[in-house]
Chain A
Amino acid sequence: MIHQHFMLVDPMTVAENIALGNEPRKWFGLAVDTDRVREEVAELNDRYGFAVDPDARIEDVSVGVQQRVEILKALYRGADTLILDEPTAVLTPQEVEGLFEVFDELTAQGKTIIFITHKLGEAMRTADEITVLRDGKAVSTVEADATTREELAELMVGREVLLDHELEPSTPGETVLDVTDLVATDARDVERVTGVDFSIREGEVFGIAGVDGNGQAELVEAITGLRRPDEGTVHFRGEDVTEDSRRERIEAGMAYVPEDRHERGLVMDFDLVENAILGSQHAPEFANNGRIDWESARDHAEDVIETYDVRPPDPDVTAESLSGGNQQKAIVGREFERDPDLVVATHPPRGVDIGATEFIHDQIRALRKEGRAILLVSSKLDGRTATRRTDRDGRRGRGDERLRRR
């Protein structure tokens, strides 16, 4: 089983991680036979054509390599069936292609792969047989060669899905967000955003595409008030908010769907009522003289649950008990319902099924039509997911390059 979140020990080497819990012993079991581990890893490397350095530390290698280490771990234990849970979610397009080559190599050698994904194209590309699950039931199993994307989408959602939307022409209004010469560093003091400037107007979706980890997180945090920029300014509705706190920005009308829903977007131990007011706990709708109005909080939670189809539809369950997709729906719902002037969203449909993705996209279009400004960050380069929905597209390359305007 290869989990979506890797189960690796960061400061240990690739070989140590692969052997962990299953180490060959020497000296009557007193020591780990590291030479043998390395040999065996090298052998596996050769057989499947993985180019992984057994002595590299996990923290030093890319996510794509880490994933190969996870696969090697399973192979090292003699697995014949590999289960991969959303393995492509964290990979760049090139890495995804590399992973699929690994799949081909493994199946050619007689291994079985169960590949869990919600991306139609990937399933069509790699699978021989596709089983569609919906609401916990296996809906249907089809031959990959004998099906179409449309058919799969219909099976997933239970009704016909329109895969392509045309954007109505937008009529941009006044400038909502204006970022000028923004410079931001990450926690390790590495400059990640180097003099970026762009602006977003009312009724406009501004997309930032590019591989994760190239400054998007720092840029977004500097805009939403979670990170102080080193240089440059952020203007919101004409006012300089560079020095404003996170709370002031929320109150001014910024909504933010964060990248990390477990750490940031939801409080895992809180129920959905409490989570529904995260960020609005001081707002007059939910708090009266410092006292929280739990009744209106509950009403709000129920609204979000109903509108965004959060399952189970019970406001009293904790955020932790929801599946990833439903957590995401709860966050998106809360933020979109904030009545914001600006929505900053990083991977808003991450991990949700195609029906919910469609719904979230519809909501973004509706916000755009209402004249809200939307900043959309996505790591997906193919036109279907990101650029299709954007009016303009600032594509990011390396972190030290400037954001280009198209």
Chain B
Amino acid sequence: MSDGDDKEWRALLDRLQTATYGERILLSLAALVLSILVGALVVLVSGIPADCGGATFCYNPIEVYYELFFGAIGGNPLVEEWSPTNFSMATTLQTTTILLFTGLSVAVAFQAGMFNIGTQGQLVLGSLATAVAVLYATPYLPSGILGTLLLIPVGVVAGAAIGGVWGAIPGALKAYADANEVITTIMLNFVATGISAVLLSQYFQDETSPNPQTPAIPEYAEIPHIPVVGFEPRIDFSLLALLFAIALIGAVHFVLRQTSFGYDLRTSGKQPEAAEYGGVDSKRLMVSSMTLSGALGGIGGSLWVLMVHRRAKERVAGHRHRDRGAAPARGRPVWADHPVRRHAGVLPDDRWLLPPGARADRRGRRR
């Protein structure tokens, strides 16, 4: 790269630093448009080897995007009768809700300068803890609306606690044994799946089922639907859960921006040495921020139980195709056709969670 190029790049980067919100939104839109174009190209090219009677490009990218987009919201409101509370919309929002928690979990760790790739494990154990806590608490609590009001918090707190503990482990390993959290969190995902499998089959097995899963939690412990909004009740989605997720985003934002703890956390994430200088105990902060991150992942697991499955299962997350496929009585599972499901592969898959272009080591980049 010549000096001239270098200078231009630098100038561009400096310009980006000072971009306004409007410009940033435009930039994101530009990236979106560009990625759609690239995707279209891939669709076109992959149509070449297919056989469709003479035409060179067998697949039409516009059709693909049309299906992808309107499929996710359950039809095109412009050309057909469409209700915002339809089935596909509910499924999309259900996935959105869970992804909000996993995303939030990763974001908190990232703000602290760490990569939590273990959200999957935190979610798996969080869901098990939720199911077990609710099942054990049920006999001691009243049923009905009071039961709902008591059992849901019990489940969420249990999920957050166990998810938090599971997140604290890699935090502590990083702080006190200098173990890279990227490696440990990934490894702990497998450990979590293993632990969950053993606990399920050995201790919490639903005797009436051949699959490793807990018994179902009582119906009144599920997150209730809002009657008026009227998503079809047979769909495992509650607007309340989505609202809860959005409220939690606000809460996390508040913690990060408005509290001393959040200040410590962000300072550590941006400049560990400055944080140390400012009196932050970096070891303790690593543990506490990973605990918070893990707890958020664990709450994702809670919702998985309280909203979707009504029970903890082996491999809740990331393997839903198989789960759903194992319901042959219903014939071809409807959700297999859900476009988001089909194309996005759903849950805490590691590739999803790494912010693009993120680097583990942010030190030493300034001079």
Query: Which residues from chain A sit less than 8 Å from chain B, CB to CB?
Result: 5, 226, 245-247, 250-251, 256, 258, 260, 262-270, 274, 277-279, 281-282, 287, 290-292, 294, 320-321
Which of B42-50, B75-83, B255-263, B352-360 faces chain A?
A: B255-263
Partner of A226, one of B17, B260, B264, B276: B276
Q: Assuming A5-B367, A268-B271, A278-B267, is B258 touching A291 (CB within 8 A)?
A: yes
Q: Is the CB of B274 within 8 A of A265?
A: yes
28 contacts between A and B (CB under 8 A): A245-B279, A246-B277, A247-B280, A247-B281, A250-B278, A251-B279, A256-B277, A258-B277, A262-B367, A263-B273, A263-B366, A264-B276, A267-B267, A267-B271, A269-B270, A277-B263, A278-B278, A279-B277, A281-B260, A281-B267, A281-B279, A282-B260, A287-B259, A290-B259, A291-B258, A292-B259, A292-B263, A320-B17
Q: Is the CB of B277 within 8 A of A264?
A: yes
Residues of chain B with a CB closer than 8 A to A226's CB: 276-277
Minimum distance in angstroms from B342 CB to a CB of chain A: 39
Closest to B2 in A: A21
Which applies to chain B's interface (DSSP): helix, strand, loop or mixed?
helix
Query: Which residues from chain B sit less than 8 Å from chain A, CB to CB?
Result: 17, 258-264, 267, 270-271, 273-281, 366-367
Minimum distance in angstroms from A252 CB to a CB of chain B: 11
Given contact pairs A247-B279, A250-B278, A260-B273, a sample of 4 additional A-B residue pairs in the complex whose CB atoms are under 8 Å apart: A246-B277, A250-B279, A263-B271, A290-B260
Residues of chain A with a CB closer than 8 A to B279's CB: 245-247, 250-251, 279, 281-282
How far apart are the CA atoms of A387 and B279 in the complex, in Å?
A: 31
Residues of chain B with a CB closer than 8 A to A263's CB: 271, 273-274, 366
How far apart are the CA atoms of A263 and B273 in the complex, in Å?
A: 6
Listed from nearest, the 3 A-B pairs whose CB atoms lie closest are A247-B279, A264-B277, A278-B278
Closest to A283 in B: B260
Residues of chain A with a CB closer than 8 A to B367's CB: 5, 262
Partner of B276, one of A246, A269, A277, A294: A246
Partner of B277, one of A245, A265, A277, A294: A265
Minimum distance in angstroms from B178 CB to a CB of chain A: 14
Q: Is the CB of B274 within 8 A of A266?
A: yes
How far apart are the CA atoms of A258 and B258 in the complex, in Å?
A: 27
Q: Is the CB of B270 within 8 A of A264?
A: no
Closest to A245 in B: B281
Partner of B278, one of A5, A268, A281, A290: A281
How far apart are the CA atoms of A279 and B264 in the complex, in Å?
A: 10
Residues of chain A with a CB closer than 8 A to B270's CB: 267-270
Residues of chain A with a CB closer than 8 A to B276's CB: 226, 246, 264
Minimum distance in angstroms from A296 CB to a CB of chain B: 13
Q: Is the CB of A262 within 8 A of B366?
A: yes
How far apart are the CA atoms of A264 and B262 in the complex, in Å?
A: 19
Q: Is the CB of A287 within 8 A of B274?
A: no
Residues of chain B with a CB closer than 8 A to A282's CB: 260, 279
Q: Which of A250, A263, A279 has the most CB of B within 10 A?
A: A263
Residues of chain A with a CB closer than 8 A to B278's CB: 250, 278-279, 281
How far apart are the CA atoms of A343 and B263 in the complex, in Å?
A: 24
Q: Is the CB of A290 within 8 A of B274?
A: no
Residues of chain A with a CB closer than 8 A to B281's CB: 245, 247
Q: Is the CB of B366 within 8 A of A281?
A: no
Residues of chain B with a CB closer than 8 A to A247's CB: 279-281
How far apart are the CA atoms of A294 and B271 in the complex, in Å?
A: 21
Residues of chain B with a CB closer than 8 A to A274's CB: 263
Q: Assuming A268-B271, A292-B259, is B366 touching A278 (CB within 8 A)?
A: no
How far apart are the CA atoms of A292 and B275 in the complex, in Å?
A: 16
Minimum distance in angstroms from A11 CB to a CB of chain B: 14
Q: Which of B17, B258, B263 has the most CB of A within 10 A?
A: B263
Q: Which of B270, B275, B277 has the most CB of A within 10 A?
A: B277
Closest to A278 in B: B278
Residues of chain A with a CB closer than 8 A to B260's CB: 281-282, 287, 290-292
Q: Is the CB of B277 within 8 A of A281?
A: no
Closest to B274 in A: A267
Residues of chain B with a CB closer than 8 A to A262's CB: 366-367
Q: Assuming A256-B277, A258-B277, A281-B278, is B261 touching A290 (CB within 8 A)?
A: yes
Residues of chain B with a CB closer than 8 A to A290's CB: 259-261
Residues of chain B with a CB closer than 8 A to A269's CB: 270-271
How far apart are the CA atoms of A263 and B365 in the complex, in Å?
A: 10
Q: Assuming A245-B281, A246-B279, A291-B259, is B274 touching A281 (CB within 8 A)?
A: no
Minimum distance in angstroms from B172 CB to a CB of chain A: 18
Minimum distance in angstroms from B92 CB to a CB of chain A: 35
How far apart are the CA atoms of A251 and B261 in the complex, in Å?
A: 17
How far apart are the CA atoms of A292 and B265 in the complex, in Å?
A: 13
Q: Is the CB of A278 within 8 A of B274?
A: yes
How far apart are the CA atoms of A130 and B281 in the complex, in Å?
A: 49
Minimum distance in angstroms from B309 CB to a CB of chain A: 37
How far apart are the CA atoms of A256 and B279 in the complex, in Å?
A: 11
How far apart are the CA atoms of A247 and B279 in the complex, in Å?
A: 4
How far apart are the CA atoms of A302 and B280 in the complex, in Å?
A: 24
Q: Is the CB of B259 within 8 A of A268?
A: no
How far apart are the CA atoms of A278 and B260 in the complex, in Å?
A: 10
Minimum distance in angstroms from B194 CB to a CB of chain A: 38
Residues of chain A with a CB closer than 8 A to B258's CB: 291-292, 294
Q: Is the CB of B271 within 8 A of A281?
A: no
Q: Which of A267, A290, A320 has the most CB of B within 10 A?
A: A267
Q: Is the CB of A281 within 8 A of B273?
A: no
Q: Is the CB of A264 within 8 A of B273?
A: yes
How far apart are the CA atoms of A287 and B262 in the complex, in Å?
A: 12
How far apart are the CA atoms of A264 and B276 in the complex, in Å?
A: 8
How far apart are the CA atoms of A287 and B258 in the complex, in Å?
A: 9
Minimum distance in angstroms from A85 CB to a CB of chain B: 12
How far apart are the CA atoms of A250 and B281 in the complex, in Å?
A: 13
How far apart are the CA atoms of A279 and B17 in the complex, in Å?
A: 26
How far apart are the CA atoms of A260 and B270 in the complex, in Å?
A: 16
Residues of chain A with a CB closer than 8 A to B366's CB: 262-263, 268, 320
